[in-house]
Amino acid sequence: MASILVTGGAGYIGSHMTHALLDRGDNVVVLDNLSTGVRDLVAPDATFVQGDVGDEGLVRRILRDARIDAVAHFAGSVVVPESVAHPLRYYANNTAKSCALVDACLSEGVRHFLFSSTAAVYGLGEGKPAREDAQTQPINPYGRSKLVTEWALADAALAHDLRYVALRYFNVAGADPEGRTGQSTPRATHLIKRACEVALNPELELDIFGTDFPTIDGTGVRDYIHVSDLIAAHILALDHLDRGGEPKILNCGYGRGFSVRQVIDAVSAAAGHELRVCTSPRRPGDPAHLIADASRIKAELGWTPRHDSLDEIVQTALAWEQTKGRVCPPAKSRSRTEAAWNGWGTVSQDIQPAP
Ligand code: UD1
């Protein structure tokens, strides 16, 4: 049994990770500032601390007092157009705070670190499945803010006793098959989430951004990965670090793509009716294709996809949207420890937690 700090554990992917860790018997502390996270997505058996990963005093106290063995760092900003409008926020939130978190780990003797990176580091890609050793040429501040963090981790691992795995996510979608968590991010922009919202609300319409790409039907092609398979990759990465494994950078995708129109067809089939759609110009910076070469993670971690059907991805996303995707129930009761840590996070750092 290990103690794991999950940053961003009230968010879409972090909340799935928390459930997976608890399922295998780990202790989990979730640190989330709730800027985009939802308190009720945090698994009830995790200890929740409302606070910021950039708050060094808070982070160090959690690492020490909860005897954290490894950090899974999901907290961050993920909206590409927002990163173009507010680049410094992305460098501050994704890069500077990640560096501060790694520094706190080094100070407190935490040596295992998982980092949520992104396929956006590849930029426009080379028109073929992206391998981890392909040139990284991100075309937006979001991708650059993650790539710089990968570099910082690589340098820190060379200089210090730190081992990490950076997972480059392709297009994560779907929801926990048991219905315990899913994507409830307010104002989500991701295609499958948006398509599910449109399927359930006759007043909404889905924009298809670009119909003139050099793809099978003119719309953008992406490698959609079920969130449960993504989380399985994280668990394997933790096991790898536990075995003393070396730092790694690994793609998380299936190596096959679907176009926007194919996704819309799948959501229409799951919903049992056509979606209202309209066509719009391309979004700035959208590549035509972005597909993973997934051979390295399969070979090096033994990762085997178990949910790699677009229909399953879409059905679980739609099921979540129908139940809890839009409505967040009121907060549940909080534990004593949690209340104490919340005191640390929100009150002056000099104030001691309640006994
Ligand atoms: C981007 C990043 C990805 C990152 C993710 C995190 C790039 C190339 N990819 O994914 O690495 O993990 O953000 O936020 O930067 N679309 C529509 N209508 C919509 C929404 C999307 O047509 O309402 C289209 C897009 O133009 C694109 C596809 O659907 O072709 C997927 O878009 P989206 O779900 O937003 O993800 P990416 O931009 O591919």
The total domain count for the chain is 1
Instruction: Give 190 Cα–ligand 1 centroid separation in angstroms.
Output: 6
Separation CA 340–CA 354 (nearest Å): 5
Nearest to 297 by CA among 308, 289, 305: 305
Q: Among this protein's residues, is 142 annotated catalytic?
A: yes
SS3 of 63, please? Answer: helix
Pairing verdict, β 206-209 and 221-222: unpaired
Separation CA 322–CA 314 (nearest Å): 12
Question: 319: Cβ below 6 Å to ligand 1?
Answer: no
Tell whether the model's pLDDT for residue 346 goes beyond 70.
Answer: no
Instruction: Give 230 Cα–ligand 1 centroid separation in angstroms.
Output: 17
Q: What is the pTM of this model?
A: 0.92
Domain contains 353: no
Position 126 scores a pLDDT of 76
Domain contains 350: no
Instruction: Give 319 Cα–ligand 1 centroid separation in angstroms.
Output: 21
Domain contains 351: no
Separation CA 8–CA 52 (nearest Å): 9
Position 326 scores a pLDDT of 65
Question: Which has the higher per-residue pLDDT, 328 or 267?
Answer: 267
Question: 290: Cβ below 6 Å to ligand 1?
Answer: yes
Pairing verdict, β 224-226 and 277-280: unpaired
260-271 helix and 191-200 helix, angle to the nearest 10 degrees: 40
Measured from the Cα of 78, ligand 1's closest atom is 14
- Buried-state track 33-72, b at ≥16 Cβ within 10 A, e below 16: beebbbbbbbbeebbbbbbbbbbbebbbbbbeebebbbbb
Which residue's CA is the nearest one to ligand 1's atom 29? 191
302-316 per-position pLDDT tens digit: 999 999 999 999 999
Question: 173: Cβ below 6 Å to ligand 1?
Answer: no
Question: 123: Cβ below 6 Å to ligand 1?
Answer: no
Question: 283: Cβ below 6 Å to ligand 1?
Answer: yes
Domain contains 80: yes
| Contact assessment for residue 22 and residue 28, using Cβ atoms and an 8 Å cutoff | yes
Domain residues for the domain of 117 are 3-340
Cβ-Cβ contacts under 8 Å for 259 (sequence gap 6 or more): 215, 216, 217, 219, 220, 221
Measured from the Cα of 263, ligand 1's closest atom is 29
Domain contains 194: yes
Domain contains 354: no
164-190 per-position pLDDT tens digit: 999 999 999 999 999 999 999 878 889
Domain contains 96: yes
CATH of the domain at 264: 3.40.50.720
